[in-house]
Structure 1
C-alpha cells in the first residue's frame, strides 16, 4: 500500500469526455 497526502486539486484547461464528473487530486507521496 502506498500512502500520500492530498496537497491540492487539478484543474484542466481542456475538456476530456472520459474524465467528466471525476475529481482529480494532487497527492504527495509520504516517505517511509
Structure 2
C-alpha cells in the first residue's frame, strides 16, 4: 500500500512540474 501511495505521489509531482513547464512555455509565447 505504502509503495503504491508513494508511486502516486511521484506521478502527482511529475504532473505538477509538467503543468508548471507548460505554463512557462505559454508565458514565453504570449510575450
Q: Name the TM-score, length of structure 2 as normaliser.
A: 0.17
Structure with the higher fraction of residues in strand conformation: 1
Larger Rg: 2
Structure with the higher fraction of residues in helix conformation: 2
Higher RCO (C-alpha 8 Å, min separation 6):
1
Q: Name the TM-score, length of structure 1 as normaliser.
A: 0.17
